[in-house]
Amino acid sequence: MAEMMKGLDGATATVTDILSYQLIHRYTSYETVESFFEALGVENEGQFKALDEAVIDREVQANTSFDSWKEMERRGLDLWIAQQLHNAQNE
């Protein structure tokens, strides 16, 4: 396990990492992260981060299987970590 974690040292997930293809397709009605951003009226991660969380929550509740952005974010982070561990294991 320590060897696998070594590959994660310093790794930081961005919003677009968290909103992976796998997450978007499995848990939302969107085709891409860009279409999710478009529904929120933003064009990039910086604008997304500036949104009020209540605005994101409403969109998440309406078009995903999650009840809140925090729940969606946690699942996306879980998927990202699993992918990082998989990648480290295969190096």
Model-level pTM greater than 0.95?
A: no
Which residue, among 40, 57, 59, 39, has the nearest Cα to 48 in the 3D structure?
A: 40
Q: Which residue has the higher pLDDT, 61 or 11?
A: 61
Question: Which pLDDT does position 89 carry in this prediction?
Answer: 81
Question: Which pLDDT does position 10 carry in this prediction?
Answer: 62
Beta bridge partners of 64: 28
| pLDDT band at 61; cut points 50, 70, 90 | very high
**CA atoms lying within 13 Å on the CB side of residue 82:** 10
Question: Roughly what angle, to the nearest 10 degrees, separates helices 53-63 and 33-40?
Answer: 120
Q: The domain containing residue 61 runs over which residues?
A: 2-89
> How much is the average pLDDT of 61-83?
95
How many domains in the chain?
Answer: 1
Assigned token pair, 7: 């590959």
Which tens digits make up the pLDDT trace of 15-25? Answer: 999 999 999 99
Question: Which pLDDT does position 6 carry in this prediction?
Answer: 39
Assigned token pair, 37: 């951003």
